[in-house]
């Protein structure tokens, strides 16, 4: 974000996408059919010609955003001479044990790419509702729930159960004060500990 002059007020995932794509990724919509249409969200394949990222063109725009971001994380961190392809399913993935860590990392990375922590914190601190955040950043409410849970686990060392319970309250729209308080604490902590954080919050 700093290298692209992005901050909490002007963040746009497209700038990050374009930077990664410029490293040699070709993104193509693909109308998967039959069972694949229902089960495959996207895939990234590296061959001797190119790196191709294909996403299921039948999905909602927010789901497409997450899938493209997910596959770009695979490109940055997992695609190599030994791993030429990753295929991702929409739900109930049955990955092998070897694949679990890359998929977990790609899910977290996709959520962070769509909504970086400083941006998420500022939106909630300013009283934005989950619905407005979802619409503004093109992130599904399921992915926003994931970001909230990660925020609490990372900043407060909360268990998944405690973090998800609080995230559910915030996502329901019944705990605006909780969201504002929640966001204020890590922002103050990061401003004190991270010399780059202030530059993102101008």
Please provide the DSSP assignment of 25-48 as one string.
EEEEEE---HHHHHHEEEEEEE-S
Confidence band, pLDDT 50/70/90 cuts, at residue 17:
very high
User: What is the rounded CA–CA span in Å between residue 124 and residue 119?
Assistant: 9
Q: What is the CA radius of gyration of the chain?
A: 18
* Higher-pLDDT residue of 178, 52: 52
Asked whether the predicted pLDDT for residue 91 surpasses 70, the reply is no
Which of left, alpha, beta for 198 (phi over 0: left; psi -120 to 50: alpha)? Answer: alpha
* pLDDT at residue 34 tops 90: no
The whole-angstrom separation of Cα 177 and Cα 183 is: 10
List the Cα angle 61/49/47 in 5-degree steps: 75
Phi, psi of 33 (to 5 degrees): -120, 165
Quick one: how far is CA 198 from the chain centroid? 22
Encoded tokens for 198: 């202030």
Alpha-carbon distance of 169 to 9, in angstroms, equals 26
Whether 25 and 51 have beta carbons less than 8 Å apart is answered as yes
Span of 91-100, 111-120, 178-187 with lowest mean pLDDT: 91-100
Quick check: 94 pLDDT over 80?
A: no
Tell me the pTM. Answer: 0.90
């Amino acid at each position: 974000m700093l290298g692209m002059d992005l901050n909490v007020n002007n963040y746009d995932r497209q700038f990050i996408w374009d930077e990664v794509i410029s490293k040699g990724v070709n993104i193509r919509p693909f109308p998967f059919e039959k069972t694949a249409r229902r089960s495959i969200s996207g895939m990234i394949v590296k061959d001797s010609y190119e790196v191709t990222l294909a996403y299921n063109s039948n999905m909602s725009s927010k789901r497409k955003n997450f899938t493209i971001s997910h596959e770009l994380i695979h490109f940055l961190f997992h695609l190599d001479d030994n791993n030429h392809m990753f295929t991702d399913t929409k739900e109930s993935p049955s990955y092998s044990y070897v694949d679990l860590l890359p998929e977990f990392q790609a899910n977290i990375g996709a959520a962070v790419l769509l909504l970086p922590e400083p941006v998420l914190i500022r939106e909630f601190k300013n009283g934005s509702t989950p619905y407005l955040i979802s619409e503004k950043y093109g992130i599904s409410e399921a992915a926003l729930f994931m970001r909230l849970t990660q925020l609490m686990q990372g900043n407060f060392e909360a268990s998944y159960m405690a973090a998800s319970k609080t995230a559910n309250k915030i996502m329901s729209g019944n705990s605006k004060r909780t969201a504002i308080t929640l966001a204020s604490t890590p922002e103050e902590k990061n401003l004190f500990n991270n010399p780059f954080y202030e530059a993102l919050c101008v």
